[in-house]
Amino acid sequence: MGNKQTIFTDEQLDAYQDCTFFTRKEILRLHGRYHELAPHLVPMDYTTDPDCKVPLALIVTMPELNVKKKQSLYTENPFRNRIVESFSEDGMGNLSFNEFVDMFSVLSEMAPRELKAIYAFKIYDFNVDNYLCKEDLEKTLNRLTKEELTPEEVELVCQKAIEEADLDGDNKLSFADFENMITRAPDFLSTFHIRI
Amino acid sequence: MASITVKVQEERGHVIHAQSQLDAQETGEEDEVSVSQEEYERERHRGKRRSGDGERKKRRKRASRAGEREEESHARPERREKSRRRRRRARDDEGDGDGEGEADERNAKGKKKQGSAKKGEKEQDAEKLAVEEKPQELKKKKQKKKVVETSSEQETSEVEDNQKEDNDETEVRPESLSPEELETLEEAVDERKKLIQGLRGKPWTMKKKLLTLRESQEFVDKYEGALGKGKGRKLYAYKVMMGKKWMKFQRDFENFKTACIPWEMKIKEIESHFGSSVASYFIFLRWMYGINLILFSLTFGLVMVPEALMGRPYGSIPRKTVPRAEGSSAMDFAVLWDFGGYAQYSVLFYGYYNNQRAIGWLKFRLPLSYFLVGVGTVAYSYMVVIRTMARNANESGVGDDNSFNFSWKMFTSWDYLIGNPETADNKFASITTSFKEAILEEQESQKDDNIHLTRFLRVLANFLVLCCLAGSGYLIYFVVRRSQKFALDGLDTHSWWERNEVNMVMSLLGMFCPMLFDVISALENYHPRVALQWQLGRIFALFLGNLYTFIIALMDEINLKREEEQIIKFNITIWEAHFYNGTVSENSTAPPITIQPADVPRGPCWETMVGQEFVRLIISDTMTTYITLLIGDFLRAVLVRFLNYCWCWDLEAGFPSYSEFDVSGNVLGLIFNQGMIWMGAFYAPCLPALNVLRLHVSMYLQCWAVMCCNVPQERVFKASGSNNFYMAMLLVILFLSTLPAIYTIVTIPPSFDCGPFSGKNRMFDVIQETLESDFPAWIGKVFSYASNPGLVLPFILLMVLAIYYLQSTSKSYKEANVELKRKLQTQNEENKKKNKQAALKAQMDLEEARQAASHTAERQRNNNASVEDQEGWEEKQGSSHRLSHGRNGRNPHPPVRDQLPATSACLSRTHHHSKHGAPGYLPGLPRQSEPRMCRVPSLQRH
C-alpha cells in the first residue's frame, strides 16, 4: 500500500467511497486506468486535487468502452462517444478524474436503476435537447444495427418505439416517458453496466 | 428534500411566534441586520458587479460588518424603530432585493440552471448572503437565535460575525436551545446524514458531490454534539462516536468483503470477451462454490473432524476396520480409486461412524450432530435458493408485458459489457435480426405458409426426443441391473468396463444426448429463444430421468442388501454362539480379546454402498466433463489452429471451426451435479468436500478453456431473467433430490452394525433419544404433544389456507394491475389526442417566447456552460424582476415572516433537483421549453 497511499489521502478515498459505488481498491484501480490513458497528462499524486483532463480521443481507447479496432472500424461500443460526452462537464468529452470516476460509478453494478436511467437518457439524447426525438432514435438504431436496416424499416421502428413509450403524445420521448419505459425493461440493469 | 426544508423553516417560524417575549426583540435584531445589508446592497449595486463571486462575498462580508458597526453607534431603540420602518419602505419601494430573489426562487423550483451564482448577486439579504448551502444557513439561524436568546442585544455584531465567519464558532450551548429548536436541529442533522448516505445515488457531478459531502460532514460534525441535553448529552456524544466507528467498520468490512470475492477479475475478463450470458455461467459457478463451501464446513467441522479426532481410532472396532478378506488389496490404487478398501472404512462414509452417544472429553453428541447436519444441509440449501430467487425476482422487476417491444429493443439490447470485436460483431448481427424479426411480425401478424409441415416436423421432433429419453432410461436401468449381477458375482472377475459401466453409460448419455437433441431441434424451426428453452427442458428431462432410473435401481439394490443383512445377522448369532463355545449367557468379564476386529463378520451396510455409488458418480461425471473439455474444446482448437496451415479448406471458418461455449448445457450440468451432492451427502459426508474441489478446478479450467479455445456465440443471448430460470431449476432439482434421501431416512431402518444410527429402529430416533436423556422431561412432553397428529394436521391445514389466501390476493393484485394498465392505456389514447392539439398550440407560444428571449440566452446555452455571462444575467434579472412584482403585489408578507419562505425556497433549490427530478427534466441539461429560464450555471456545478 505504501506507494498507493500517495495517490490519494485517506480523506479523499473516504469521500470518493461516499460519493460512488466503489471500494477503496476499485478507486485506486480506476486511478491506475486513468493514469494509463495519458501518463504524461495525469499526475500520480492526486492529494492536491490537480486540475487535468483527458480528452475524448484518449478516453475512448479504453477497452471497456472500445473494442480493439484492429480488424475493422465498426467493432466498438456504438455509444462510447456518447457515454463519455454525457459525463464530461464541458460537453466535449474531456474528462477530469472526478468525472471519470463518476462515469464508472454510474455504470457500475451497484448503481440504482433511477440513476442509470437518467444517464442512459443523456446518452441516447444525441442532440442535447432533453427529448428523445426521432432523429435521436434513428441515430441510436443506426448505431445498433450498423446501418443495416433500410430507411423504411428504421422509420417504422422509430415510429413504433415512440408510439409505445410516448405517454403525453408530443411525438418525442421526454425523460418521464423514457423512465417509465426503461424501469420496466427486464434487461436494462443487466446490460447497462460496465465492469472496471 | 425540499419539502422537508420548507417544513423546517415553517417550524422555525412557529418557534419565533411562540416565543412572545423574545419576539419583538428578535425582530428588531433581524431587521437591523437586513437593513444594514440593504444599505450596503444599494451601494453595491452601483459598484462592482463584475467581480468574481467569491471575492464579492468576501467584500460584502467586510463591508456589511463595517456598516453594522457604524450603525451600532446609533441609539438602540430608535434604531430599531427606524430600521423597521426602513425595512418596510425598502420592501415596498424596491421590491428588488428581497422580493425578487424570492419570486425568482419560486420560479426556480426544480430548475437548477438558475444557479446560486445569480442568487449570490440578487439576494442581498444578510440572511441569504452565505446561503449557498442550506446547512450553513440553517446553522447560522440557529446560532443567531441562540445568541439572541441567551445574551442581550449588544451582541449584534457578534451575530453578524457568526454569520460571516462561516461557523467558526463551534461553541454551541445546548442548554440554551429550546426543545423545538433542538428538534429542528436534529432534523437538519438527520437530513444531512441521509444526504451523505444517499449521495452516491445522486445524478450530480462528482465535484458537486464532493463539495456537498464535505459541507454536510462538517455540519454534522459540528452540530451533532449540540444535540442531547444535560445528562443525556454524554450518552448522545458516545452514541454519535460509536455510530461513526460503526460506519467506519462497516465500510472497512464492505471493502474486505469485496476483496474476498474470488475470481472477480477473471469473470470480468470473460464478460468483456463473451458478453453477459457466458459470464452469468461463471457467476453462477462461483455462487455454487460459495454454497458448497458452507455445506462443506458444516459437515467437515461438525461431523468428520469430531469423529476423526475424538471418536475411537481406526481398527478399534469392526466397523472401523478393513475386513480380513479385503485387507490385502485395501491399499491398491484401483480399489482406492473405486472408494473401496481403506477409503471405504474411513470418515468419508457413513459406515465408519460409531453409534456411541457422546464422544471425547467434549461429550460431543455425534449421532445427533450427524443427523442435524444432514437436515441442516438441506434446510440451508432451500433457504439460500429461495432467498436468491426472491431477490432476483425483485430485481428483474415486473417487465413481462410486451407493450414496449420496440423501445426495449432499442434502448436495452446493447450489452455494454461486451469488449471483444467478434462478440460485438455477433451482437450487432443479432440485434439487427431481432429488429428485422420484430418488423416482420409487426407487418404481418402471422405468415402461415407451410404450417402443416412445421407442425408435422415439430411433432416428429418431439417423438424422436421422447424415444431418446425412453431409450436412455431403459439403458441405464439395464446397466444398473447388470452391474448388480456382477456385484453379486464379485468384482474381481470382471473387466474395468464392466465395473464402471453404470457411471460411464450415464456420463456418455449426458454427453451425447444433448447433441442429438440439438440436431433434432433443427427440425422444429423455432425462434432461437424458444428453441433454447425447449433444448433446456429436454436436457433437464434427460438428466432427471437418468438420475431417477439410477435411484430406482439403487433402491432395488438397497432391498437386496437388506435381505442379505437379515441372513448375515442370523449367521452372526450362530457364529457368536459357536465362538463362545456354547456359553449362551455372555458374561462381560470375559472380553473377546482374541478376536481381531477385522475378523468379525459384518453386514453389507447399504448406507455406505449408497454413498459410494454417489461418490463414484460424481467422480466419473467430473472426469467426463474435464475430458470433454480437453478433447472437445482444447484438442479441437489446437487441431483447427495448426492443421489450418496445411489443409485444403479453411478449418477456422468452415466445418470444424472452434467450439462455442455452451452456457445452458454447462449450467444444467452444474445443477445436476449439485443435485447429486444433495442426494448423497447424507451417506457420504465427503461429498461436499469433493464438490468444492471439483468446482474450484472447474473454475480455473473452464476459465482457461473459454479464453483460449472458445469463440463467442453466434447468437449472443442476453442473460436476462435466465438467472432465475437457473434458480428455478436448481430448486426443482433440490426438491427432487431431497425426496429420495428423506424417503430412505424415514422408511428404511439403518444397518445394524455400521453408522451412527446402528441399533436404532429408525434414523430419526436419535432426536427422541436426545430429548429423553439430555433435556428435562417437560421438553420431551412438549415435543410429543407437538408431534401429535391432532396438532400437526391443523397446522398443515393452516399453512395450506395461508398459501391459498396469499395466492388469491396476489392474483387479485395482478388483475387490478392489468385493469389499471388498461385504464392507463385508454387514458393515454385520449391524452394523446388532446395533447396533440395542445402541443401544437404550445409550440407556437414557445416559438414566440423564444424569439422574445434575448439572443444572449441562446448564446449562453451554446457556450461552454462554465463561463458566466453577465449580459445574460442582467437580461434575466430584468425578467424575474417583473415576475417578482406580480407576486409581491398579490401576496405581501410581514417583514419577518417573508424572509423565511424566501430562504426556504432558496434552500430547497440547492438540493431540490436531486430527488424530485421533475418529470421531463434532467439535471445538468438545459431546458428549452422554459423561455424565462436563465442559463446561468449554478455555483455547485463549477
Mutate to test the interface with A, among B261, B407, B828 (most CBs of A within 10 A): B407
Residues from chain A contacting residue B421 (CB–CB below 8 Å): 67-72, 75
Taking the CA of residue A187 and the nearest CA in chain B, the distance in Å comes to 5
So what's the pLDDT on residue A76? 60
Q: Which of the two residues, B851 and B111, has the higher pLDDT score?
A: B851
What is the average pLDDT across B410-427?
73
Indicate the residue type of A109. E
The beta-carbon neighbor of A190 closest among B431, B718, B839 is B718
So what's the pLDDT on residue B292? 94
Query: Chain A residue with minimal CA distance to B406?
Result: A161
Buried b (16+ CB within 10 A) or exposed e, B765-786: bbbebbbeeeeeeeebeeeeee
Q: For residue B629, give the nearest of B688, B694, B533 by alpha carbon.
A: B694
Strand-pair category, B710-711 with B659-660: parallel
Rg (CA), chain A: 19
Dist. CA B10–CA A189, nearest whole Å: 41
Strand-pairing partners, residue B359, are B364
Q: Which of A20-24, B10-14, B156-160, B273-277 has the lowest mean pLDDT?
A: B156-160
**Residues A169, B833: C-beta atoms closer than 8 Å:** yes
So what's the pLDDT on residue B268? 76
**Residues B205, A89: C-beta atoms closer than 8 Å:** yes
Dist. CA B386–CA A99, nearest whole Å: 39
- For cell 495525469, the residue is A42
The ipTM value here is: 0.81
What end-to-end distance do the CA atoms of chain A give, in Å?
20
The answer, yes or no, to whether residue B678 has pLDDT greater than 80, is yes
Strand-pairing partners, residue B823, are none
SS3 B134: helix
The answer, yes or no, to whether residue A156 has pLDDT greater than 50, is yes
The answer, yes or no, to whether residue B801 has pLDDT greater than 50, is yes
The answer, yes or no, to whether residue B299 has pLDDT greater than 80, is yes
So what's the pLDDT on residue B492? 62
Query: Chain A residue with minimal CA distance to B440?
Result: A153
**Residues A130, B920: C-beta atoms closer than 8 Å:** yes
So what's the pLDDT on residue B293? 94
Residues from chain A contacting residue B268 (CB–CB below 8 Å): 195
Q: How confident is the model at residue B807 (pLDDT cuts 50, 70, 90)?
A: very high
SS3 B887: helix
The beta-carbon neighbor of B407 closest among A25, A161, A186 is A161
Dist. CA B133–CA B219, nearest whole Å: 11
So what's the pLDDT on residue B31? 43
pLDDT digits over B310-352, tens only? Answer: 888 888 888 888 888 888 888 888 888 888 888 888 888 998 8
Q: Please count the residue pairs, one from chain A and one from chain B, whose beta carbons lie less than 8 angstroms apart.
A: 246
So what's the pLDDT on residue B797? 95
Residues with Cβ within 8 Å of A68's Cβ and at least 6 positions away in sequence, in order, are A75, B420, B421
What is the average pLDDT across B13-32?
42
SS3 A127: coil
So what's the pLDDT on residue B428? 77
**Residues A187, B839: C-beta atoms closer than 8 Å:** no
Q: What's B660's DSSP letter? A: E
pLDDT digits over B700-715, tens only? Answer: 999 998 888 887 766 5
**Residues A166, B832: C-beta atoms closer than 8 Å:** yes
Residues from chain B contacting residue A188 (CB–CB below 8 Å): 411-412
pLDDT digits over B614-658, tens only? Answer: 998 899 889 888 988 888 888 888 888 888 788 777 777 767 778
Dist. CA B393–CA B13, nearest whole Å: 47
The beta-carbon neighbor of A119 closest among B203, B919, B941 is B203
So what's the pLDDT on residue B377? 92
Dist. CA A121–CA A104, nearest whole Å: 16
User: Do residues B307 and B347 make contact, with C-beta atoms less than 8 angstroms apart?
Assistant: yes
Query: Chain A residue with minimal CA distance to B928?
Result: A129
The answer, yes or no, to whether residue B499 has pLDDT greater than 50, is yes
The answer, yes or no, to whether residue B395 has pLDDT greater than 50, is yes
**Residues A189, B424: C-beta atoms closer than 8 Å:** no
pLDDT digits over B358-368, tens only? Answer: 888 888 888 99
Residues with Cβ within 8 Å of B457's Cβ and at least 6 positions away in sequence, in order, are B523, B524, B525
Mutate to test the interface with A, among B205, B255, B400, B411 (most CBs of A within 10 A): B411
pLDDT digits over B25-59, tens only? Answer: 444 444 444 444 444 444 445 444 444 444 444 44
Flag whether the pTM goes above 0.80.
no
Residue B524 vs residues B448, B463, B530, B658, B906: alpha-carbon distances, Å = 15, 12, 10, 25, 66
The answer, yes or no, to whether residue B109 has pLDDT greater than 80, is no
Residues from chain A contacting residue B404 (CB–CB below 8 Å): 164-165, 181, 184-185
pLDDT digits over B823-862, tens only? Answer: 877 887 787 777 777 777 877 887 887 787 756 565 665 5
What is the average pLDDT across A50-69?
66
**Residues B917, A67: C-beta atoms closer than 8 Å:** no
So what's the pLDDT on residue B372? 93
Q: Where are the beta strands (DSSP E) in B285-434?
A: none
Residues from chain A contacting residue B213 (CB–CB below 8 Å): 15, 18-19
Dist. CA B374–CA B679, nearest whole Å: 10
So what's the pLDDT on residue B720? 46
User: Do residues A114 and B916 make contact, with C-beta atoms less than 8 angstroms apart?
Assistant: no
Dist. CA B877–CA B871, nearest whole Å: 10
Task: Give burial (CB, 10 Å; 0-12/13-18/19+) of A120.
Answer: buried
What is the average pLDDT across B889-904?
42
Query: Chain A residue with minimal CA distance to B429?
Result: A145
**Residues A174, B209: C-beta atoms closer than 8 Å:** no
Taking the CA of residue B409 and the nearest CA in chain A, the distance in Å comes to 9
User: Do residues B658 and B637 make contact, with C-beta atoms less than 8 angstroms apart?
Assistant: yes
Taking the CA of residue B714 and the nearest CA in chain A, the distance in Å comes to 15
The answer, yes or no, to whether residue B596 has pLDDT greater than 80, is no
Task: Give burial (CB, 10 Å; 0-12/13-18/19+) of B656.
Answer: middle
What is the average pLDDT across B410-421?
74
So what's the pLDDT on residue B219? 80
Query: Chain B residue with minimal CA distance to A23?
Result: B255
Residues from chain A contacting residue B834 (CB–CB below 8 Å): 169
Strand-pairing partners, residue B660, are B711
Q: Which of the two residues, B175 and B933, has the higher pLDDT score?
A: B175
Using a pLDDT cut of 90, give the percent of chain B over it: 10
Query: Chain A residue with minimal CA distance to B253?
Result: A23
So what's the pLDDT on residue B443? 67
**Residues A63, B408: C-beta atoms closer than 8 Å:** no
Torsion of CA A39, A44, A50, A53, to 10 degrees: 30
* Per-residue three-class SS string for B239-266: HHHHHHHHHHHHHHHHHHHHHHCCCHHH
pLDDT digits over B194-247, tens only? Answer: 887 777 777 777 777 778 888 888 887 777 666 655 556 677 778 878 888 888
